[in-house]
Structures are given as structure tokens and as C-alpha cells.
Amino acid sequence: MPIDNPYYSAAVHGDFELADIGDLVLEEGATLRGCQLAYQTLGTLNGAKDNAVLIPTWYSGNHSIMRDTYVGSGRAIDPAEHFVVLVNQIGSGLGTSPHNLAGPYGRGRFPRVRIGDDVVAQERLLREVLGVEELALVFGGSMGAQQTYEWAVRFPDRVKRAAPLAGTARMYQHCVVWAQTLVDALTSDPGYAGGWYRDPADVRGGLQRHAGLFALHVLSNEFWTGENWRALGFSSPEDFVVGFLEAYFEPMDAGDLLTQAWKWQHGDVSRHTGGDLAAALGRITARTVVMPISTDKFFPPEDCAAEQVLIPGSQFRVIEDVHGHASLFGLTPSYLDQVDDALRKLLETPA
């Protein structure tokens, strides 16, 4: 029985459309029948059909965060110039997700979904629904960066430019282990009941612990020691944790987050090449700029740099910001200026 959760609605996230892409056979063996993707488009596909920009979403994120943070008039990604497709991942809460799926695969029986499944679904959406065969740019942060890498490796002839931000092509063990603490925080809550809770609030304690763990890792050490929470309008570290992180996660569905977390933990483009990461990244023909965040604990610059050197003709640009992985929310103008500058230069580069 699906759960009604008003957080996952246009009233909260703004306009979006649902596309039924048909039956999606997942890499782990199950089939999502009548799989639906939630997406929003901005701008117009030009006559040459070569101005499409795809923006996938991160863990817990959605199209509205990406739209409001990275897209706009005068920005590098501008709907006046580009046909922007903002697509929510499977399990995001918008579109096919554990909490809203009826039938045998709903709720606690929702199947394992991989990053590759998202990209296959997105390719079907673009080609069959929107008439897009070529992408001028794929740009995403965190799990969106994982999807960006998957696109560039799986469909090298379709992606002209790629900009993975604060993410890696393969998950590394320090991040896998840490993500497991998020999983454990949710599943250990008695209210979780193996995924068969009746209301999102039944897992309130787990969601609060989940937010507390994010406080340890999503922000940099410099954020805390420099008391940078003050500039964001909070009176203490505790006030920031409750007023920002707990408030952010509290309305979400635990099962949806767990679906995304498993994907996050198992992202790895080298599945396509028998575990050979160099061979997988060597497939990329897109003009690529790899953009780690200087203080990111999830995807530190050194992990990103080790992958960037394996991508033919790619560039490496560190985005300097004190907010760690949470910089992705666009918390300072200087962060946004750096990302826009990198994207603008990439889009100006002939493909």
C-alpha cells in the first residue's frame, strides 16, 4: 500500500512532469513495470537539436534544488540558450519510488536500483519522449556526478561535454563505509519495521540520527571551527543541525533514501570493463572538466584527481569553498561564480 507524503509534490518542489518509460529491467534482475521518471524542462530544443543539457540529481535532492541553484538567466546554463532537462532519479520520491509504488515491489520490497538503471531510464526519456539524441552537456553533483560519469562511459557518442561536480566514477571504501552508517541509522529505528512503516513520521528518530551523521561529514572541519554556521543565520552548532539538517531530512521517506543510498554505495563505471577503471574512463570522448570541492570529505580532490588523469583530454578544476560537500547547495556567491565560470568555459569549447 503506497504512503501519502505531501513533501513529494509540486506544491513543495514546483512544476514537474511524469513520463511512463515502460518496463525497466534492472541490472540486479527485477523489473520495474510502468517505470515513471519525474522531470522538468526549461527552454526550447533548437532546430539542430544540439543544445540539450541534462542535469540529474543527488542523494535526497530533486530537480528544484538543481534548478534554483544552477540554472537561470545569465547563468552558464541559461534556458534562453539551452534546452535544460532536470531529471529526478528513480527512488527520489518523485517518480517511481518505494513509498509510492503499488504492487509486489512497493515499500520494503522495492528492488535494488543502480546508477546504470537511472541512466538507461533517462536515455529512454530523452530519446522517446523529448526527441533528444545528443547532449551538449551532462552536469551533476554528488550522485548526479556518478550519473554524469555513467552517461559519458555508457553513451560516449551521445555526450559532447561532461561536468561531474563533487563526485567520482567509482565509490571508494571510505565513502561506502560512511554511507552505511546512514543506512544503519534508518533501518535500526524500530519504527522502520523492515520498510513496512505506516507513516514517514514513524521513522522520525532514524531520520534525526541520519541528519546528525550528515553534520559530521557533509560539512568541513573548517566550517565548524570557523563558526560559519553564523553566516547562514544560525545561533549555534546545535541550532544549525536542527534548523538546517534535521529540517531538510525530516519530511523525507526513509525507504526512498535507502534506495538512493544503495545506489550511491555501488556506483562504479568499471562494471562495463571487468573492473578496469582506466579502460572505462578511457572510453570517454566528451570534453570533460572534473570539479571537486576543496573541503569535500565525501569525494575529496585527491580521489577525483586520480580519476581525471584517466579521462582523455580532460581538465581538473578545484572549486574552493569552506562548506564541504554541502557547498553543493550554493551557500556562497563565490562558489556559484566558480562553478558557472567552469561550465561557461566548457560550453564555449567546441565539442
Cα separation of 200 and 132, whole Å?
37
Of 64, 97, 142, 327, catalytic: 142
d(CA 244, CA 140): 22
161 phi and psi, to 5 degrees? -145, 145
Element (H, E) at 149: helix 143-154
Q: How far apart are alpha carbons 139 and 130 in whole angstroms?
A: 18
Q: Is 325 known to be catalytic?
A: yes
Beta bridge partners of 164: 140
**Annotated active-site residue in 268, 296, 303, 321:** 296
Which helix (H) or strand (E) element contains residue 176? helix 173-187
- Our answer to whether residue 272 is catalytic in this structure is no
Give 76-110 as a DSSP string: SB-TTT-EEEEEPPTTSSSBS-GGG--STTSGGGP
Q: Establish whether 99 is a catalytic residue.
A: no
- State which H helix or E strand residue 117 sits in: helix 115-124
CA within 13 Å, CB half, 310: 20
Distances (CA, A) of 180 to 50, 95, 174, 185, 207: 40, 25, 10, 9, 14
Q: Please tell me which residue in 13, 99, 210, 325 is annotated as part of the active site.
A: 325
The residues annotated as belonging to the active site are 142, 296, 325
